């Protein structure tokens, strides 16, 4: 079969492009991402409050409780790959749309459950156990979101706009984190510390119910992608498991020879984005409080500003990657973080640094991460065959985030606790971004012009 260099083709090479369906798929993919990252943002921003409510045992210090809170945070991420594989297999066989509907329901319910859980003061040691179990449910469902959402967006994308469409996934990550940070900041200002610790922290988690209902209404209107329909129509019903098949010939010379190799490359290319994103956008508020003595309110504002910088650069980076390719943007973003992470952190640590300068530093850090997050989803989608794309995208992304993002708070906080070295966040993101920059150098220069591998 010969295809033209467009994203959506029907059997025989005829282009299938429904502008309204493309836009619905864009919105349908975004709504689930928003809820997923809203919750993870809220959990990260309220980490110190949650630590006191669920993990602070008698005689334990604040830092020890915070480490346990981040351990629960990391556990959810390590269940993401399981969910990515489970829901990915369903999504690659049954379809993107029905799988994403199921994933959304589980995510919204899991988030709302946190808002009604009893604390340690009420049920003792059972409280952190219950919280961790809910986090595991969230990890499983969230693992199925990325692969389906990016498949939906990129497979519906018009020709020459795959990078822009894929970047909306990352943009709604920023919106979700901003939504979480903004909600936390409003509550921190509107409520007293006593009210915030007693019941105020529950409010943002309970908001997941109305948000989930609205998102479900949108996602039910989304159509299955023409790319998936065409690919599954050509599949022999008796064919063996496709998860280990190499990508189709359209992937071109130099493409990964198997899905397993593509997943490994995807992890290496994403690890810097994952580590830097969570360090600067989620972990930073707690780091500023615990390690630098910054107030809770000022730390939350810094988190909001970092995410504003992140959001500001994502869509332009995605659109630019449709013109110049994915490789220049991915390499530049990783290289800038590797070079600037330590000087930026030292500015935050310096006693004489003004609040305005600190806010500018976190804004710039967020914007640089956006250079990787913009073209990243399309870059991954271009690495996998249609019949394994949902699984490949999800497993690559979830493993990278489980190891390098979900563990970021735990690793950074524990190492600082043991060494007393406040520069650990910078060294962590520098090391991961160096690896990602080198891995991204292997991307083909013309991937953005090729059809998605069938």
Contact at 8 Å (CB) between 143 and 80? Answer: yes
Upper half-sphere CA count for residue 173 (Cβ side, 13 Å)? 29
For residue 15, the cross-strand partners are: 9
Compute the average pLDDT of residues 118-139: 86
Question: In CATH, what number is assigned to the domain containing residue 140?
Answer: 1.20.1250.20
The reply to whether 453 falls in a domain is no
The reply to whether 8 falls in a domain is no
- In eight-state DSSP terms, residue 160 is T
Mean pLDDT over the full length of the chain: 83
Please state the domain count of the chain. Answer: 1
Alpha carbon distance 130, 134 (integer Å): 6
For residue 318, the model assigns a pLDDT of: 96
Alpha carbon distance 147, 54 (integer Å): 32
The helix (run of H) or strand (run of E) holding residue 451 is none
Please say whether the dihedral angle defined by the alpha carbons of residues 374, 139, 179 and 294, taken in this order, is positive or negative: negative
pTM: 0.81
Q: pLDDT: is 251 or 276 the higher one?
A: 276
Alpha carbon distance 240, 217 (integer Å): 36
Q: What is the maximal distance between C-alpha atoms in the chain?
A: 70
For residue 56, the model assigns a pLDDT of: 67
For residue 92, the cross-strand partners are: none
State the angle between helix axes of 208-219 and 19-45 in degrees (0 to 180), rounded to the nearest 10: 160
Alpha carbon distance 343, 350 (integer Å): 11
For residue 9, the cross-strand partners are: 15
Q: How many CB atoms lie within 10 A of CB 319?
A: 16
pLDDT for 90-107, tens place per residue?
999 999 999 999 999 999
The reply to whether 123 falls in a domain is yes
Alpha carbon distance 103, 143 (integer Å): 9
For residue 253, the cross-strand partners are: none
Alpha carbon distance 82, 445 (integer Å): 32
Q: Is 20 exposed, middle or buried (0-12, 13-18, 19+ CB in 10 A)?
A: exposed
The reply to whether 277 falls in a domain is yes
Q: pLDDT: is 276 or 74 the higher one?
A: 276
Residue 368 — pLDDT band, cuts 50, 70, 90? Answer: very high
The reply to whether 273 falls in a domain is yes
Which of 302, 286, 403, 287 lies closest to 50 in space, CA to CA?
286
**Residue 81: pLDDT above 80?**
yes
For residue 207, the model assigns a pLDDT of: 92
The gap from C-alpha 20 to its chain's centroid, in whole angstroms, comes to 26
Instruction: Give residue for tokens 């459950």.
Output: 113
- In eight-state DSSP terms, residue 250 is G
Compute the average pLDDT of residues 156-178: 89
Tell me the three state secondary structure of residue 9: strand
**Residue 325: pLDDT above 80?**
yes
- In eight-state DSSP terms, residue 243 is G
Alpha carbon distance 82, 250 (integer Å): 29
Contact at 8 Å (CB) between 337 and 272? Answer: yes
DSSP string, 201-217: GGHHHHTHHHHHHHHHH
Q: Domain range for residue 354?
A: 19-225+244-446
The reply to whether 7 falls in a domain is no
The reply to whether 121 falls in a domain is yes
Residues in the chain, total: 454
The reply to whether 439 falls in a domain is yes
Alpha carbon distance 62, 293 (integer Å): 13
pLDDT for 5-58, tens place per residue?
344 444 434 444 567 778 888 898 899 889 888 887 788 778 778 877 787 665
Worst-scoring range by mean pLDDT, 64-73, 120-129, 248-257, 421-430? 248-257
What percent of the chain has a predicted confidence (pLDDT) above 90? 39
Residue 257 — pLDDT band, cuts 50, 70, 90? Answer: low
pLDDT for 183-241, tens place per residue?
888 888 888 888 888 898 899 999 999 999 999 999 998 888 888 888 877 765 445 45
Compute the average pLDDT of residues 71-87: 83
DSSP string, 408-436: HHHHHHHHHHHH--TTHHHHHHHHHHHHH
Burial per residue of 259-297, b for 16 or more beta-carbon CB atoms within 10 angstroms, e otherwise: beebbebbbbbbbbbbbbbbbbbbbbbbbbbbbeebebe
The gap from C-alpha 92 to its chain's centroid, in whole angstroms, comes to 21
Alpha carbon distance 130, 119 (integer Å): 9
Alpha carbon distance 224, 440 (integer Å): 31
């Amino acid at each position: 079969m010969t295809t033209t260099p467009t994203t959506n083709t029907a059997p025989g090479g005829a282009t299938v492009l429904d502008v309204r369906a493309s836009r619905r798929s864009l919105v349908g993919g975004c709504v689930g991402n928003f809820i997923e990252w809203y919750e993870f943002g809220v959990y990260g921003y309220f980490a110190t409050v949650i630590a006191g409510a669920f993990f602070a045992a008698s005689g334990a210090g604040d830092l020890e409780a915070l480490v346990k809170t981040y351990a629960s945070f990391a556990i959810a991420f390590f269940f993401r790959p399981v969910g990515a594989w489970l829901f990915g297999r369903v999504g690659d066989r049954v379809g993107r749309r029905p799988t994403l509907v199921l994933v959304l329901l589980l995510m919204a319910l899991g988030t709302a459950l946190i808002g009604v859980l009893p604390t340690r003061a009420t049920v003792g040691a059972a409280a952190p156990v219950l919280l961790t179990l809910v986090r595991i449910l969230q990890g499983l469902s969230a693992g199925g979101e990325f692969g389906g959402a990016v498949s939906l967006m990129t497979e519906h994308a018009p020709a020459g706009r795959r990078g822009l469409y894929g970047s909306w996934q990352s943009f709604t990550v920023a919106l979700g984190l901003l939504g979480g940070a903004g909600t936390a900041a409003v509550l921190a200002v509107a409520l007293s510390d006593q009210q915030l610790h007693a019941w105020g922290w529950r409010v943002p988690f309970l908001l997941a119910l109305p948000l989930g209902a609205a998102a479900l209404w949108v996602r039910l209107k989304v159509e299955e992608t023409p790319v998936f329909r065409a690919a599954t129509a050509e599949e022999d019903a008796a064919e063996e498991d496709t998860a280990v098949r190499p990508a189709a010939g359209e992937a071109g010379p130099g493409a990964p020879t198997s899905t397993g190799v593509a997943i490994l490359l995807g992890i290496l290319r994403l690890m810097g984005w994952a580590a830097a994103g969570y360090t600067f956008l989620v972990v930073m508020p707690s780091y500023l409080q615990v390690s630098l003595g910054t107030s809770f309110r000022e730390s939350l504002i810094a988190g909001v500003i970092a995410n504003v910088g992140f959001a500001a650069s994502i869509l332009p980076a995605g659109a630019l990657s449709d013109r110049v390719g994915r490789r220049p943007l991915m390499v530049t973003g990783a290289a800038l973080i590797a070079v600037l992470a330590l000087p930026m952190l030292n500015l935050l640590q310096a006693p004489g640094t003004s609040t305005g300068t600190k806010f500018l530093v976190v804004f710039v850090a967020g914007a640089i991460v956006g250079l990787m997050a913009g073209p990243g989803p399309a870059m991954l989608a271009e690495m996998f065959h249609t019949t394994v794309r949902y699984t490949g995208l999800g497993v690559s992304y979830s493993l990278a985030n489980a190891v390098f993002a979900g563990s970021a708070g735990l690793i950074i906080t524990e190492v600082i606790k043991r060494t007393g070295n406040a520069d650990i966040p910078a060294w962590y993101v520098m090391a991961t971004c160096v690896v990602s920059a080198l891995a991204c150098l292997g991307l083909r220069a013309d991937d953005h012009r090729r059809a998605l591998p069938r």
